[in-house]
Amino acid sequence: MPTEEQMKSTLQAYVDGFNSGDPAAVTGLYADDAVVVDPVGNPPIQGRAAIEEFYGNAVAAGAKLALDAPVRGSHGDRAAMAFSVHMPGMRIRVIDVMTFGDDGRIVRMEAHWGPGDVES
Amino acid sequence: MPTEEQMKSTLQAYVDGFNSGDPAAVTGLYADDAVVVDPVGNPPIQGRAAIEEFYGNAVAAGAKLALDAPVRGSHGDRAAMAFSVHMPGMRIRVIDVMTFGDDGRIVRMEAHWGPGDVES
């Protein structure tokens, strides 16, 4: 299992990679068969091809991420962060929870945001 | 399933009940057989008696909660919040994720915080 510090560094790399406009810097943090649930309540997507398409679209749409508070770790295999997604004409408030595999890559991401968390 | 607004109101009631020093105002938000995992990575506790003991102890220790950002909803049965626990001589940064039952009560709480999220 990765250390708390390693998990937090990965979440920071996720934010930084996203904001650099390089989807591969984000998708490379995921295991090949990872699951992404974004938002929670919608059907999950799974696997490298689907994840690359998802982040390619998000980065192409001009989304930028800003942490609302320091990244949280856990006593287990998870870390979490509260952030805002800034897109042209829209802001979405989100809490992501990431679960890690033994090799330190993300095996599951769950994004908590609802219709009421979207501001135009 | 409760609405996003109902779930967010319940999380706000959780914070307010905690800060009023009344553990029953918090434990009453839970279903009788609910599970609390605090922190993630530690063994869960389950059921009304265990949950009442848990919150009784936390409130008696003088803990107060302060939201770090607005509560997040979801498109499903979950809501989440980033907050700080202020105790005498200590602060803990936490992200809680709550899962709701059809009657609007919390059936599962998972608290994400690690050793690195505790400041003295």
Q: Encode pLDDT of A40-74 as tens digits.
A: 999 999 999 999 999 999 999 999 999 999 999 99
Pairing state between β A78-87 and A90-100:
antiparallel
Mean pLDDT of A16-23: 95
- Closest residue in A to B92 (Cα) is A72
Cβ contacts of A79 on chain B, cutoff 8 Å: 112, 114
Q: With an 8 Å Cβ cutoff, are A116 and B73 in contact?
A: yes
The share of chain B scoring above pLDDT 70, in percent, equals 100
Strand partners, A95: A82, A112
For the domain B4-119, what is the CATH code?
3.10.450.50
- Closest residue in B to A8 (Cα) is B116
**Residue B14 annotated in active site:** yes
Residues 6+ apart with CB under 8 A from B116: A4, A5, A8, A73
Question: Which among A4, A93, A117 is the nearest to B115, CB-wise?
Answer: A4
3-state secondary structure at position B104: coil
Residues B89 and B73: beta-carbon distance below 8 Å: no
Cβ contacts of B97 on chain A, cutoff 8 Å: 80, 95, 97, 112
The share of chain A scoring above pLDDT 90, in percent, equals 98
Cβ contacts of B116 on chain A, cutoff 8 Å: 4-5, 8, 73
Q: With an 8 Å Cβ cutoff, are B39 and A76 in contact?
A: yes
Q: Which of B22, B38, B77, B117 is catalytic?
A: B38
**Residue B96 annotated in active site:** no
Q: Rounded CA gap, B58 and B105, in Å?
A: 20
Domain ranges for chain A, please list them: 4-119
pLDDT beyond 90 at B51: yes
Mean pLDDT of A20-39: 97
pLDDT beyond 90 at B39: yes
Cβ contacts of A38 on chain B, cutoff 8 Å: none
Q: Rounded CA gap, A14 and A30, in Å?
A: 10
Q: Rounded CA gap, A95 and B116, in Å?
A: 19
